[in-house]
Copies of this chain bind each other. A is one copy, B any other.
């Protein structure tokens, strides 16, 4: 218990157990009978890890109390994930710039308590502002355009805003956002909250700080230089590229699919393709019927989900920075560059190895989960791989097989969600905290590769 970062998996576990207990209360279900332990556990893990995969329909199975518990688990889980990721960033980088150099790692390699308090406040502020704005827009839309009752409109607005900002993908309608596929107000508002939550706290803080500086400069009050960190530049570029790929991919591959985009007008097709393309990063709402997507769209979505969103946010996956670093390492290697650089900054060898470790452990986890579910169920690779990637990357998109999974496969999905969420943080924390020193060195020897 040397270090707070070590507590992250334990804290998540405690939250999951508390959530499971609450969801097993008879008052948590619509019909007043206690939920089975596996159903409660699955739902709690899915909520805490902000995934959104479900074995029962959220809106009809759980009571108002049950839905409130799910909402709270999502909110606490999402907050914890941003907090853990950001603290880890401080540990890895030695410091994280938030307004000047507010957060710093002290000499004994822990984070100062005052810094943690500031961080909690800033994350809470960002969360409340984005969620409130989202909830207000959604509630008015539900009330005015769809004629929901006032209380219902507010509750649906709050629930979906929490689910969106935390990239949790839970919906109160059984068909997620499919009923709103042609509504730009609902789907674009949700998409915006998803993107802001998923791009990561460090990027948001830097963007806000630079916006403030630009405003100050614009009003002639200062001459602060607008500088973007390497982390923000990589995350922003990759997020833009992946959004474009998702948009183009869904539009091209589904344009004529009669079960998805086919029946829509051209404008609605473009809207629906854009919104669908934001979800693999890694929100998990679906405005289209996932089980009707073409196999090649599923494969594209597998790739987008696995890559995921930005670090230290509510998104899952191996993260866009990890993917970008690996691409740059390979590109440098092919060109025979002596070191790995991006945007004029060299990437330390430890960071390269860390990216490799996260990506390949992800591949291993998905492969093992897929194998277990295939052996257990006999479903085809298309759908099982999709569900495994969706669980590992805490996305929550589903071709519909999850409610039909036997217990062993449900447990495999639970484990994938847990290690997808906590595993990478735990591994990264271990890397940051426990660099062994050798008092001797080994002679080098090169085995042949390729």
Contact = CB atoms under 8 A, between A and B. Distances in A.
Interface in A395-450: 424-425, 427-428, 430-431, 433-438, 441-450
A337 B361 CA distance: 17
A348 interface: yes
A114 interface: no
Contacts of A324: 447
Interface stretch (A141-149, A184-192, A351-359): A351-359
A215 interface: no
Interface string A334-345: 111111110011
Contact of A380 (B346, B380, B442): B380
A280 to B, nearest CB: 15
A321 B447 contact: yes
A234 B425 CA distance: 31
Interface stretch (A62-70, A154-162, A294-302): A294-302
B311 A449 contact: yes
B329 A444 contact: no
A10 interface: no
Contacts of A319: 448-450
Contacts of A361: 330
Contact of A330 (B322, B325, B357): B357
A447 B338 contact: no
Nearest to A235: B447
Given A253-B375, A330-B356, A374-B299, A438 B339 contact: yes
Given A296-B375, A442-B341, A357 B381 contact: no
Contact of A325 (B230, B345, B447): B447
A385 interface: yes
Given A329-B357, A381-B299, A435-B338, A428 B449 contact: yes
A344 B442 contact: yes
6 contacts: A200-B448, A322-B449, A322-B450, A338-B437, A348-B444, A381-B382
Interface of A: 85, 88-89, 92-93, 200, 202, 229-231, 234-235, 253, 295-296, 298-300, 303, 311-312, 318-319, 321-322, 324-326, 329-330, 332-341, 344-349, 351-358, 360-361, 367, 370-371, 374-375, 378, 380-382, 385, 424-425, 427-428, 430-431, 433-438, 441-450
